[in-house]
Copies of this chain bind each other. A is one copy, B any other.
Amino acid sequence: MRSASFFPLLLVGGALFPAPVGGARTAPADPLPSWNDTAPKKALTAFVAKVTKDGSPDFVPPAERVAVFDNDGTLWCEQPIYVQFAFAIDRVKALADKHPEWKDQQPFKAVLEGDHKALAASGEKGLAAILIATHTGMSIEEFEATVTDWLATARHPKYERPYTECVYQPMLEVLAYLRANGFKTFIVSGGTADFMRPWAEKVYGVPPEQVVGTTFKTKYAAKDGKSTVVIEPHIDLIDDHAGKPVGIARAIGRRPLMAFGNSDGDFEMLEYTTTAKGPRFGLLVHHTDTEREFAYDRKSPIGKLDRGLDEASNRGWVVASIKDDWKTVFSTKK
């Protein structure tokens, strides 16, 4: 969009495609080349075709084409631990010098000693304490800088590459495909918005204002011709389970047309989407690939998918198996 040169465009079904070069129109390239030609891909493309076809009884105007995506386990890898938790652990280690008391204080002691058992025993209360110690008490700009710095050097323990390269190529294609068809794509994640905003635009093409996530309370601070917003040590909204429709209602203000998730934490988001009037679409990514990724569902502490598997069929949700339905998994070869 920065060029001032002429750029002929062709409007097709509400979407912008570059005009074909050389005169004759050629068949458009497959927008989802990393998907096998199995049922999930067929259901997805058939849905998009019917809601974007002018004159179709299911036509939906571009302004109402909202698609929401969970992040962990849907757009990028959440195993063996949530990326944001890996970040928090590294931050505890980096901040330990300033907090000598952590040596004797749980859950920090467990993190510093790599004591997984004691860490697990600290439960949700321990997790909240770690989050608050590492994610609050600073300006949003300061926090975002720590995220950016960390991502530049941190590596996924299994794939040994940056976490931002542990994103799913098939889902990047879905994001681009929907945007090319006039959709606005949003992330609606249990992770915090502050953690995703510094890189979501570059990695997913999703700008900060379309990133919805867990939030802390914040406070405005201005002094000497400068101003900022400071993150306070209090949870504002946990954007998971029933918190996802709440986050969607607050940030987006209308029902999504399509929702993509992978765990029971996304159940209510898919339910809120697909129980609305008119055509709706829900898809669950099912982690089934021990070889190329991880296989987990009903009994996993991370990304548990149990009720979703039970009810998907009755609710008309598509279940995409990584093993069977994805030709490629990651955006960069392992």
Contact = CB atoms under 8 A, between A and B. Distances in A.
Q: Is the interface of A mostly helix, strand, loop or mixed?
A: mixed
Contacts of A245: 220, 227, 229
Contact of A182 (B1, B8, B14, B184): B1
Nearest to A276: B227
A13 B4 contact: yes
A209 interface: yes
Given A4-B11, A11-B3, A253 B61 contact: no
A54 B227 CA distance: 29
A251 B10 contact: no
A12 B4 CA distance: 5
A207 interface: yes
A225 interface: yes
A289 interface: no
B11 A7 contact: yes
A227 B272 contact: yes
Chain copies in the assembled complex: 2
B10 A6 contact: yes
A173 interface: no
Contact of A197 (B242, B253, B271): B253
A152 interface: no
Given A4-B13, A209-B252, A246 B229 contact: yes
A275 B186 CA distance: 29
A46 interface: no
A313 interface: no
A229 B243 CA distance: 10
Interface stretch (A31-39, A98-106, A123-131, A211-219): A211-219
Contacts of A10: 6
A19 to B, nearest CB: 8
B253 A193 contact: yes
B209 A253 contact: yes
A63 B253 contact: no
Given A3-B11, A10-B6, A227-B272, A250 B218 contact: yes
Given A54-B2, A252-B209, A246 B227 contact: no
7 contacts: A1-B62, A5-B11, A8-B8, A66-B209, A193-B253, A227-B245, A227-B276
Interface of A: 1-14, 54, 61-63, 66, 140, 182, 184, 186, 193, 197, 201, 207-211, 215, 218-220, 222, 225-227, 229, 236, 242-246, 249-254, 268, 271-272, 275-276
Given A4-B54, A7-B11, A227-B276, 14 more contacts: A1-B11, A3-B54, A4-B11, A4-B12, A4-B13, A209-B209, A209-B251, A215-B250, A218-B249, A220-B244, A222-B268, A222-B272, A227-B245, A227-B271
